[in-house]
Amino acid sequence: MAAKKLFRGRWSKEDIRFLRKFFPNGSTRVVANLLGRPYEAVKKQAWRMGLAKSKKYLRTAFKKK
């Protein structure tokens, strides 16, 4: 899926559903790119919604290689 042009402004219900579904288990940068929104906007919106990264994601994201 190609990334959208960067979008600033209100969050649509579709964007909120996407964020709720993919933020906990996905990279914030990837989610931001797929939504076409700035990285910081995605972080801030997730924080406002009370979303957090899942324990599973945190274990795998920072695993030593």
Is 4 contained in some domain?
Answer: no
For the entire predicted model, the pTM comes to: 0.80
7 domain residue, yes or no:
no
Taking the C-alpha atoms of residue 56 and residue 13, their distance in angstroms, rounded to an integer, is: 26
Alpha helices in 1-65 (DSSP H): 13-22, 28-35, 39-49, 55-61
- In the chain, how many domains are there? 1
Whether residue 64 is predicted with pLDDT greater than 80 in this model: the reply is no
CA distances from 30 to 27, 46 (A): 5, 14
Q: Is residue 18 part of a domain?
A: yes
Place of tokens 């996905």: 26
pLDDT of residue 6: 62
pLDDT tens per residue across span 7-53: 667 999 999 999 999 999 999 999 999 999 999 999 999 999 999 99
Does 31 fall in a domain?
A: yes
Domain that residue 41 falls in: 13-61
Residue 63 is predicted with a pLDDT of: 74
Domain annotation covers residue 29: yes
What confidence tier does 2 reach under pLDDT thresholds 50, 70, 90? Answer: low
Helix H or strand E segment including 62: none
